[in-house]
Structure 1
Amino acid sequence: MSAEPGPADGWRLALGTLTRIPAGAIAQVTPAVARTAMLAGSYVVLPVALASAAIGAVAVRLGAPGLVGGLLVVGVLGQLTRAMHWDGLADTADGLGASWDRDRALEVMRTGDVGPMGAGTLVIVFGLQAAAYGDLLARPWGWLLVTALVAASRAALAVACVRGVRAARPEGLGQAVAGSVPVPGAVLTWLLWAGALSAVAVLSGATWWAGALAAFGGVASAGMLLWWCVRRLGGITGDVLGACIEAAATGLAVVAVVAL
């Protein structure tokens, strides 16, 4: 008889889904496991975020231009996360741009081929993130600031999987985790990251509200994309989850640069 799924399975699901760190198989994704995984996403990714930020910071410290350091952060993140969020972002962009018909949009997303909308979106998002990270790495404690911004972006999962948001399909990752996060849990997650980013902003020589403003930029970016996907697709899919993460990462990074 298989063991009853517990909280540890949620953390393992988050670790195995969001990183390349081996976490083992999950026998069953229950609502409790899904809820834990979506809330834990921003914490299990901390080692990956730290490694990416450290490599970018070393490059900048050795004299590389900030944009090179930022591109290294983005590139290493892609490798350590199997670029799953990139795939989700590209597929979501292609689906939303393909047709006003819901079924057609979902079919385009299902194929996985990257079209012009997806490719263009990836270039713009990568460019914004790399430029922002490169600028931030040059600041005092810049590596810690970039680490926190990357990790906080995964809190977009708590927003995308909040109660009331349905799955767009009857199968897949979206169906397994849709509506699994209570509203208070999503709010608390972002409040915690707003506090953490505010503390790091002060270390970096900025005012505390710069970090809070960056957190608002991240949750607002993810929320707007989520609203659009729910309106067009009827709910979320695994691709939409990845796209929301990248939207949050971009919003966090760009607002942080402006605010700091």
Structure 2
Amino acid sequence: MSERGPAVVGRSLRLAIGTLTAIPVPAVTRVSPTIATGAMVLAPVAALPLGLLVGAIVWAGAQATIPPLAVALVALGALALGSRALHLDGLSDVADGLTASYDRERSLAVMKSGTAGPAGVVAIVIVLGAQAAALATYVDDVRSAVIAGLAVCASRAALWITCATGVPSARPDGLGSTFTERVPGWWTLLGWAGLVAAALLVDTWRGPVAVALAALVVLLLVGRAVRRFGGVTGDVFGAAIELALATLLIGLANA
């Protein structure tokens, strides 16, 4: 990469925050390949404010003895607002695209329309329901709240897979095309291996298994997208994040 230095890191982080969250930051007017790569690599870091928000709500709910499921739903609602619900929209669009037609162009057109069909609604209900049911078990103590917040950040590592080199873009336009094939394969492997190792601190066997399963779920989604759509899109990015989060929350519940 030709660009170096703290300024590039700063622009990459701003791009990641501006793209993945609703936090207002100065716009990055020129997105070079290096900055696009940095933005995706720093995606979990950009999600730290959202992780802190979810963790704070979970902990506060436990102190106030509010029903755990209600706390979980509020936390997930705040997370959706904090990300402009872009990832949920991607999940809905991918579900509609996969069920609309076996024709690639028809599926991509359905995904680009932005409207939620029956499959998209069902996907959101099931995935959000799974996230809420799992997150309710974290409404306990500070440790559980911290794990919940970290799961939010770690779920953004799904982008290390969806944006890995060798994973093609389904179309030349759209948000996804800016970031497709920007994350080096070695970083994807090293980054996820690091997450698996870090998960040992949560639980010596459930932690690594949960992270490995999250990576597997994202890989399966990407494989399906490549076969059906010819590659990935921004919607696939969002769906991958939501599925990774659900897998992590379920896998780490009561750890």
Interval of TM-score (by shorter of Structure 1 and Structure 2): over 0.9
- Alignment partner of 1:177 is 2:173: no
Aligned residue pair count: 251
TM-score scaled by structure 2? 0.93
The 5 Å alignment of 1:26-175 reads 26-138=28-140, 141-175=143-177
Task: Please tell me whether the aligned partners of residues 148 and 197 of structure 1 are also in contact (alpha carbons under 8 angstroms).
Answer: no
CA distance in structure 2 between the partners assigned to 1:170 and 1:30 by the alignment: 16
User: In structure 1, what is the equivalent of residue 248 of structure 2?
Assistant: 252
Q: Which amino acid aligns with 2:251?
A: V
Q: Which amino acid aligns with 2:31?
A: V
- Corresponding residue SS for 2:205: helix
Q: Which amino acid aligns with 1:212?
A: P
Q: Kindly provide the CA deviation profile for residues 190-230 of structure 1, in whole angstroms up to 9, marking residues without a partner as x.
A: 2222233322x2xxxxx322211111121111111111111
CA distance in structure 2 between the partners assigned to 1:175 and 1:165 by the alignment: 11
Q: Which amino acid aligns with 2:229?
A: L
Greater shift in the superposed pair: 215-224 or 249-258: 249-258
User: In structure 2, what is the equivalent of residue 193 of structure 1?
Assistant: 195
- Identity among equivalent positions (%) equals 38
Q: Aligned-pair distance for 1:29?
A: 1.9
Q: Aligned-pair distance for 1:56?
A: 2.3
User: In structure 2, what is the equivalent of residue 232 of structure 1?
Assistant: 228
Q: Aligned-pair distance for 1:73?
A: 1.6
Q: Aligned-pair distance for 1:15?
A: 0.6
CA distance in structure 2 between the partners assigned to 1:229 and 1:65 by the alignment: 38
Structure 2 spans left out of the alignment, 5+ residues: none
Greater shift in the superposed pair: 10-19 or 23-32: 23-32
Q: Aligned-pair distance for 1:140?
A: 5.7
Q: CA RMSD in A?
A: 1.7
Q: Kindly provide the CA deviation profile for residues 60-79 of structure 1, in whole angstroms up to 9, marking residues without a partner as x.
A: 22112221121122111001
CA distance in structure 2 between the partners assigned to 1:58 and 1:220 by the alignment: 33
- For 2:18, which of 16, 19, 24 is the aligned residue? 16
Q: Which amino acid aligns with 1:23?
A: V
Structure 1 spans left out of the alignment, 5+ residues: 202-206
- For 2:238, which of 239, 242, 246 is the aligned residue? 242
Q: Aligned-pair distance for 1:139?
A: 5.3
